[in-house]
Amino acid sequence: MKKQIYLDYNATTPVDQRVLDAMLPYFNIHFGNAASKTHAHGWLAADAVEQARQQVADLINAEKDEIVFTSGTTEAINIALKGVWENHKSKRNHIVTVKTEHKAVLDVCDYLSTQGATVSYLSVNREGIIDLHELQNIITDKTILVCVMIANNETGVIQPISEIAKLAHEKGAFFFTDATQATGKITIDVTDGIDLMCLSGHKFYGPKGVGALYVRRKNPRVNLATIVHGGGHEKNLRAGTLNVPAIVGMGKAAEFAKTELWETGAQISKQRTKLEQYLLDAGNVYINGSTKNRLPNTTNLLITNVKADKLTAAVPLVSMAMGSACTSAAAEPSHVLKAMGLTDEEVFSSVRISVGKYTTDEEIDFAIEKITAAIKLLRG
Ligand code: PLP
């Protein structure tokens, strides 16, 4: 069988072998429950969790006790948004977010609006970027939370995070950012005004089913509410026995994401640019979103007169996406590209290609050859 080439690193990444090696002993040798306080098995597991907490904190320039482990970004978003709203709803009940956020944020906002929250959805321009004046005008003294992701999962477009945080803080609101796609691809520093932030292990060569929520402890301290009751784990925010192997893996992955960022970033960016350039040369192909403020690994291309589903089917040996993985099961056009002003037809002619640290130059050459041939064929 011919090798299948993976160019969908924004959907998920393979676990780094060194991460897997670090995790394995925690399944059957150091298998203790991190909440067992009376014996060495428990202490060892708890120590491993604390080391991972430090590794995650180091990646984002946070303090160790500002990291809460969760089952992934989706859970972290639920804890952050519901927790802030629950704590402050009697005084402030307005939330501001963006039309191009991931469904994990939009669906929680929808839920909160059924509970009495008022939610404003910011527009984006054709480049996928919000208008800071619109944000400034929309925030009021009733706004409790501004939620804007660092980088978009479909286009890789990066928002002006520190300016957004500043505007939120001027009106006394907290700033939450979804860093799921930015982690391991660009530098993240929570001292840029971030009050709450979520990460997911499987997006940066760690395991699936583990994530983290950063919660600012001072200047200002962010108080949340218990979302999962049942034992008081993780600062009483989400109870349940900790998934120690996965947490160890996420910690190790965070360590490599920090130490190897520049090395892998340069290679990834070169490969993405080469692939993109060749596909643009096919003619009537356009990049969706800003090319200036964008993740180094992502390209979202509008290939006119070619249906994205036909293209992916015509190039079965290359794994690439139409819109985001989480919504690609639905036949609806991507809400992200629609918000950027693309027509339905343009959205259905757009593909997302995302490279990663295991992508080789040979794979890029193979993908260029197969995709350009398929474009020609499908255009007839
Ligand atoms: N937010 C963004 C930007 C994402 O890309 C994803 C996953 O694709 C999520 C949230 C949800 O992450 P998870 O499935 O790990 O909870």
Specify the long-range contacts of residues 37-45, CB closer than 8 Å, at least 24 apart.
Answer: 45/242, 45/244
Q: Does residue 235 sit in the same domain as residue 274?
A: no
Are 253 and 317 members of one domain?
Answer: no
10, 69, 73: residue to mutate for ligand 1 pocket, most atoms within 8 A of CB:
73
Closest residue by Cα to residue 81 from 93, 91, 71: 93
CATH code, 124 = 3.40.640.10
Considering 259, 283, 307, which residue would you say is the last residue of a domain? 259
Ligand 1 centroid distance, CA of 361 (Å): 28
Supply the pLDDT for residue 257.
Answer: 97
Q: Is 326 a catalytic residue?
A: yes
CA of 259 to the centre of ligand 1 (A): 23
Same structural domain, 223 and 266: no
Co-location of 122 and 250 in the same domain: yes
Q: Is 333 in the pocket of ligand 1 (CB under 6 A)?
A: no
Q: Does 153 sit in the ligand 1 pocket, CB within 6 Å?
A: yes
β-strand pairing of 285-287 with 196-200: unpaired
Residues 98 and 240 in one domain: yes
Same domain, 236 and 373: no
CATH classification of the domain holding 370? 3.90.1150.10
303 and 187 share one domain: no
Expressed in angstroms and rounded, the spacing between residue 374 Cα and the centre of ligand 1 is 30
The 3-class secondary structure across the chain, one letter per residue, is CCCCEECECCCCCCCCHHHHHHHCHHHHCCCCCCCCCCCHHHHHHHHHHHHHHHHHHHHHCCCHHHEEEECCHHHHHHHHHHHHHHHHCCCCCEEEEECCCCHHHHHHHHHHHHCCCEEEEECECCCCCECHHHHHHHCCCCEEEEECCCECCCCCEECCHHHHHHHHHHCCCEEEEECCCCCCCCCCCHHHCCCEEEEEHHHCCCCCCCEEEEECCCCCCCCCCCCECCCCHHHHCECCCCCHHHHHHHHHHHHHHHHCHHHHHHHHHHHHHHHHHHHHCCCCEEECCCCCCECCCEEEEEECCCCHHHHHHHCCCEECECCCCCCCCCCCCCHHHHHCCCCHHHHCCEEEEECCCCCCHHHHHHHHHHHHHHHHHHHC
Q: In the prediction, which pLDDT does 332 show?
A: 83
Say how far residue 168 (Cα) sits from the centre of its chain: 21
pLDDT of residue 211: 98
User: Pick from 243, 259, 275: which residue ends a domain?
Assistant: 259
303 and 176 in a common domain: no
Strand partners for 215: 196
Same domain, 220 and 334: no
Q: Which two tokens stand for residue 169?
A: 């803080």
Residues 196 and 252 in one domain: yes
The count of structural domains within the chain is 2
pTM assigned to the model: 0.96
User: How is residue 296 written in tokens?
Assistant: 């180094």
Per-residue model confidence as pLDDT tens for the chain (380 residues): 468 999 999 999 999 999 999 999 999 999 999 999 999 999 999 999 999 999 999 999 999 999 999 999 999 999 999 999 999 999 999 999 999 999 999 999 999 999 999 999 999 999 999 999 999 999 999 999 999 999 999 999 999 999 999 999 999 999 999 999 999 999 999 999 999 999 999 999 999 999 999 999 999 999 998 888 888 888 888 889 999 999 999 999 999 999 999 888 899 999 999 999 999 999 999 999 999 999 999 999 999 999 999 999 999 999 999 865 445 555 689 999 999 999 999 999 999 999 999 999 999 999 999 999 999 999 98
Domain that holds residue 301: 5-14+261-379
Task: Among 216, 242, 259, give the residue marking a domain's end.
Answer: 259
What is the structure's pLDDT at 263? Answer: 86
Same domain, 244 and 332: no
181 lines ligand 1 (CB under 6 A): yes
Both 211 and 223 in one domain: the answer is yes
